[in-house]
Amino acid sequence: MIIILLGAPGSGKGTQAAMIAKKFSIPAISTGEVLRSEVAKGSDLGTLIKATMGSGALIGDDMMIRIIKSRIDSADCSNGFVLDGFPRTVSQARYLDELMFNSGRTISAVFNFNIKEDDLINRICGRFFCKKCGALYNSFFRRTKVDGICDNCGSDSFQKREDDGSEEAVKNRLKNYRETTSELIGFYQKKNLLVSVDALQSPPLIFQGIVNYLTN
């Protein structure tokens, strides 16, 4: 099962990727996460991409293609995977097609998370996560049950993503998304793979729709 989640930052792809991965026992691959961990480690790659990521701009296709190939070639991806944040451009999508073709695999579905841009700014700027277990919260929509304590693991240590902090960087990310996405949507529409998702629905309802689609 190979699933692609398309959607603007903050549209809820990450939450659904984790739920789908658990349900179908396949890894969720978030290219944003992979890149953020390189920055956190301070690796050569991390140092190279830190400023670009901080500004909300996209990382070059060549580098992204190298990263995704090595991740998809890993043994844990042999039964499939969920992609969150890749492809972001048509050339990345073409490359992914080539990789799939060469390994005799096909993409099962591409879910496109639809949500208005106005609704996204608060959603993104309010995001924070537990430093210990990674559970995701939002100061506007999904606060912890007890103030300052993670519902999941009880930790009192939280963090924001560096590129979620400033409204300017968030707007830049949304602009980049808008500019590249329509072409990408057209690309998958022509292949009859695109499934539209109303991203304003609750996460369990969205998940149910996705599972129904994949299992019917």
Site residues, ligand AMP (CB under 6 A): 9, 31-32, 35, 52-53, 56-59, 64, 85-86, 88, 92, 163, 173
Would strands 127-130 and 136-138 be described as parallel, antiparallel, or unpaired? antiparallel
Would you say 148 or 186 has its CB closer to ligand AMP?
186
Would you say 94 or 149 has its CB closer to ligand AMP?
94
Contact 130, 157 (CB under 8 A): yes
Q: Smallest distance from the beta carbon of 92 to ligand AMP, in angstroms?
A: 6
Would you say 69 or 154 has its CB closer to ligand AMP?
69
**H or E stretch including 86?**
none
Q: Smallest distance from the beta carbon of 215 to ligand AMP, in angstroms?
A: 27
Contact 10, 111 (CB under 8 A): no
H-type alpha helices, the chain: 13-24, 31-41, 44-55, 61-72, 90-102, 117-125, 167-190, 203-215
Q: Smallest distance from the beta carbon of 147 to ligand AMP, in angstroms?
A: 27
Residue showing the smallest CB distance to ligand AMP in the complex: 32
Would you say 48 or 146 has its CB closer to ligand AMP?
48
Q: Please name the residues in contact with 161: beta carbons below 8 A apart, sequence gap of 6 or more.
A: 36, 127, 129
Q: Smallest distance from the beta carbon of 80 to ligand AMP, in angstroms?
A: 19
